[in-house]
């Protein structure tokens, strides 16, 4: 199943996708859009292009597992995204993904503007990899 992953942000939103065999997650793009309705439409277009059958949306939880204002925003966006794409939207705990993404970019010596341009799509890859691991372990 082709799955599209979203690392939602107020300004930049990272997108990743996996192959139909659910083996490899790859970064797709970073969308710079602050209006949720427009962002949801752009993601819906990507879902069509990539023939995605499911959307995984990163859920920002606090380190103690509680949910704050950011999680509320993401839950609201999940509803809009599900309505706009017509696809099931699954929420995936994203604790630590941005830090991990920065660590990956440190090992590749990606700095400055280039780093800012890709960190959110790398975080989306990590969210998707975590979800794929969960799916494999659940079977």
61-88 confidence digits (pLDDT tens): 887 888 889 899 999 999 999 999 999 9
Query: What domains lie within the chain, and their CATH numbers?
Result: 3-138 (3.30.420.140)
Is residue 28 helix, strand or coil? strand
**For the residues of 37-63, what is the DSSP string, one character each?**
HHHHHHHHHHHHHHT-SEEEEEE-B-T
Q: What is the pLDDT of residue 109?
A: 59
**39: exposed, middle or buried (C-beta count within 10 Å: 0-12, 13-18, 19+)?**
buried
pLDDT digits (tens, 9 = 90+) for 1-45: 999 999 999 899 999 999 999 999 999 999 999 999 999 999 999
Confidence of residue 51 (pLDDT cuts 50, 70, 90): very high
Average pLDDT, the chain: 88
pLDDT at 112 over 90: no
Confidence of residue 104 (pLDDT cuts 50, 70, 90): low
In the predicted model, what is the mean pLDDT of residues 121-130? Answer: 91
Sheet holding 25-32, edge to edge: 25-32, 12-18, 3-7, 54-59, 89-93
Is residue 86 helix, strand or coil? coil
Q: What percent of the chain has pLDDT over 70?
A: 83
Q: What is the pLDDT of residue 107?
A: 66
Q: What is the pLDDT of residue 120?
A: 80
How many other CB atoms are there within 10 angstroms of residue 110's CB atom? 16
- 116, two tokens: 């800012």
């Amino acid at each position: 199943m082709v799955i599209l992953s979203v690392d939602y942000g107020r300004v930049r939103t990272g997108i990743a996708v996996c192959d139909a065999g659910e083996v490899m997650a790859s970064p797709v793009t970073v969308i710079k859009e602050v209006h949720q309705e427009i962002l949801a439409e752009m993601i819906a277009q990507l879902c069509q292009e990539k023939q995605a059958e499911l959307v995984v949306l990163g859920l920002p939880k606090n380190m103690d597992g509680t949910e704050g204002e950011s999680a509320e925003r993401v839950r609201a966006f999940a509803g809009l995204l599900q309505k706009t794409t017509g696809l099931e939207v699954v929420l995936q705990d994203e604790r630590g993904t941005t830090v991990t993404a920065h660590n990956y970019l440190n090992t590749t010596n990606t700095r400055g503007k280039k780093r800012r341009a890709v960190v959110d799509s790398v975080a989306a890859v990590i969210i998707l990899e975590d979800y794929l691991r969960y799916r494999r372990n659940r079977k």
